[in-house]
Amino acid sequence: MTGNRPVVVFLPGCGSQASQYDNETGWSKWADQMKFILIFPQTTTAQPDDCFRYYLPEHQMTNAGEPLSVIQMVNWVQTHYNKDPKRIFVTGFSAGGATWASEPGSVP
């Protein structure tokens, strides 16, 4: 039963692939052991540094750009796993952390 599990969204920093960071830190292992759902958004930009583009105005709004993509991922998990919106947490570092800091409180 996954109904009571919290959701953690982890936003990696520049030059860091989500899978690489997960392999190095063990987030998936912790998610399995502690019974939370983990979402690892990955930027798909053609930028050479693989950064979230938090510094551009079009990516600093809830309903646009990369923040919208992250919210859509969270909404998908909520729809398919009946998650409580009060148990969704976001963490990240470098550009990933800045992505969410640019639009605080934007998880529905």
Say yes or no to pLDDT of 47 above 70: no
Hey, is 102 helix, strand or coil?
coil
Better-scored residue on pLDDT, 3 or 78: 78
Does the pTM of the predicted model rise above 0.75?
Answer: yes
| pLDDT digits 0-9 by tens, 58-91 | 777 767 878 888 888 888 998 888 777 888 888 8
| pLDDT digits 0-9 by tens, 27-40 | 899 999 988 999 98
Tell me if 92 sits within 8 A of 100, measured CB to CB. yes
Q: What amino acid positions are annotated as catalytic residues? A: 94
Measured CA distances, 22 to 25, 42, 86 (Å): 5, 12, 24
pLDDT attached to residue 98: 66
| CA 98 remoteness from chain centre | 12
